[in-house]
Amino acid sequence: MRIFRILYFKELKSYFLSPFGWLILCFAALMQGFALTATFKQFSDNAVPESLVFVTFTSPIFGIYFLFLFPVLTMRLFSEENRSGTIEGLLTAPVRTWQVILSKFSAAYTTFLSLWIVAVVHFYLFTIVTDVPPPFTNGELAGAITIIALMGMLFTAFGCLASALTSSQIIAGVVCTAILIFHIFLGFIPLLFGDQIPAAPFFEFISSQNHLREFSRGLIDSRAIVFYLSTSAFFLFLTFHLLDFRRWKP
């Protein structure tokens, strides 16, 4: 456990003791502000039957910057170690491979979670500085944050896998983006081919867009929770074997 802690804090430091983590935080805060402002504009122009949380988190602006975060957060994790050769020093120390993977994943995930503190503050800022009753409930906000945390977990795991594949950060970033776009695309299949096709329930089940819509209405669906937890574990497991590949390749 101590080794995990040492590795974890080392990774976390590389985000927050350099401009890198703060730049991402800045970018995320800015984009969250944009998304919220655009939603307010919509609310002031005409009547919207949905809550502020729902409209903000399903707006196109959110979709774009949300997906952009993961390649940026994760592309460095393993590819940089592969490129500089420090992976050799790391894995010849008395350290288990899973400790390395979990620590890197956790650090990236912690950084990702910290980005949403600003978003939550934005929403409550509205209730504090105006005398208008808040156009959302706490349940909706909690649901939205829950699904963002769950999606973030899976997408960070995608990023870990992409980063372990290569020794180039750029390629890692591109591969991560490709996996993310592919995942989102799978969710759109029922829209493209109609929900009458036999596989439609499956695509609806894994669709992050659907999950986001349900959760930000305050509907917490345990199937989605299980889906994200298990798929994240699966992708970390793949990452583990990718990193251990040198140990069993012919």
Partner 1 sequence: MIEISNLSKSYGRLKAVDQISFEVTRGEIVGFLGPNGAGKSTTLKMLTGFLPPTSGAARIAGKDIFRESLEVRKKIGYMPENVPLYTDMRVKEYLRFRGGLKGLSRSRLRKRLSEVMETCGLTHVRRKMIKTLSKGYRQRVGLADALIHEPDLLILDEPTNGLDPNQIRAIRSLIKNLGEKHTILISTHILSEVEMTCNKVVIIDEGKIKAADTPENLVGSMRTAGRVTVELKAPKSEVEEIILEFDEITRVVGESLQDDWNRFTLFAAPKTDTRLKISNLAAEKKWPLRSLSRRIGTLEEVFIELTRKD
Q: How far is the CB of 92 from partner 1 (least distance, A)?
A: 4
- In sequence order, the 6+-apart residues with CB closer than 8 A to the CB of 110 are 12
Terminal CA-CA length for the chain: 33
11 or 140: CB nearest partner 1:
11
We find the least distance from the C-beta atom of residue 122 to partner 1, in angstroms, to be: 32
Stretch of 3-11, 63-71, 162-170, 184-192 lying at the interface with partner 1 (CB under 8 A): 3-11
DSSP 77-128: HHHHHHHHSHHHHHHHSS--HHHHHHHHHHHHHHHHHHHHHHHHHHHHHHHH
For residue 45, give the DSSP letter: H
Question: Under rule CB under 8 A, how many of the chain's residues touch partner 1?
Answer: 24
Length of the chain: 250
Closest to partner 1 by CB, 23 or 191: 23
Chain residues 67-96 in contact with partner 1, contact rule CB under 8 A: 84-96
Nearer to partner 1, 33 or 89 (CB): 89
Q: What torsion do the CA atoms of 211, 217, 222, 227 make, to the nearest 10 degrees?
A: 10
- Residues 127-146 touching partner 1, rule: CB under 8 A, are none
DSSP codes of every residue in 148-168: HHHHHHHHHHHHHHHHHH-S-
Candidates 4-12, 120-128, 212-220, 235-243 — which segment interacts with partner 1 by CB under 8 A? Answer: 4-12
- Alpha-carbon distance 44 to 222, whole Å? 35
State the alpha helices, DSSP H only, in the chain.
2-16, 19-45, 52-57, 60-74, 76-84, 86-92, 97-129, 138-165, 169-193, 200-206, 208-215, 222-243, 245-248
As measured in angstroms, the least distance from the Cβ of 94 to partner 1 is: 4
CB of 80 to partner 1, least distance (A): 9
- Site membership for partner 1, residue 222 (CB under 8 A): no
- Binding mask 14-53 toward partner 1 (x if CB under 8 A, else -) reads x---x-----------------------------------
Q: Which is nearer to partner 1, 22 or 193 (CB)?
A: 22
Tell me which residues touch partner 1 (CB under 8 A): 2-3, 6-7, 10, 14, 18, 84-96, 246-248, 250
